[in-house]
Amino acid sequence: MLQHANSSTALALTKHYDRLVGMFDYFADWHVLRFDDQAADELLRLRSLRLRIGTTDLKIASLVITQGATLLSRNIQDFSKVPGLKVENWLQ
């Protein structure tokens, strides 16, 4: 495919790949928590409480609770409604 492309197109393509590799390098050391069966069960439990917060926030809360972690968020108003969730606002 590159044999039909002009040199400026090929150069642009290499720059895009460099950016992609840079993103992989940036995120390589991050530890991503998995939304597993335990978190899914916790989500169902929290939904049964009929808390008035968004679905995405409930998913986040479920994951944090099952990991025994503390959530760092400035959205204290919503997350403080979740029983058992430790939440702190470090931006104050």
C-beta of residue 57 within 8 angstroms of C-beta of residue 85 = no
Q: What is the pLDDT of residues 44-73, one digit of tens each?
A: 999 999 999 999 999 999 999 999 999 999
Contacts of 62 (CB under 8 A, 6+ apart): 35, 39, 40, 42, 43, 46
Q: What does the domain layout of the chain look like in residue ranges? A: 1-30, 37-88
Per-residue pLDDT band for 10 (boundaries 50, 70, 90) equals confident
User: Rounded to the nearest 5 degrees, what angle is found at the Cα of 43, between the Cα atoms of 39 and 45?
Assistant: 115
The pTM score is: 0.70
Q: What is the pLDDT of residues 13-50, one digit of tens each?
A: 899 999 999 999 999 998 888 899 999 999 999 999 99
The reply to whether CATH 3.40.720.10 applies to domain 37-88 is no
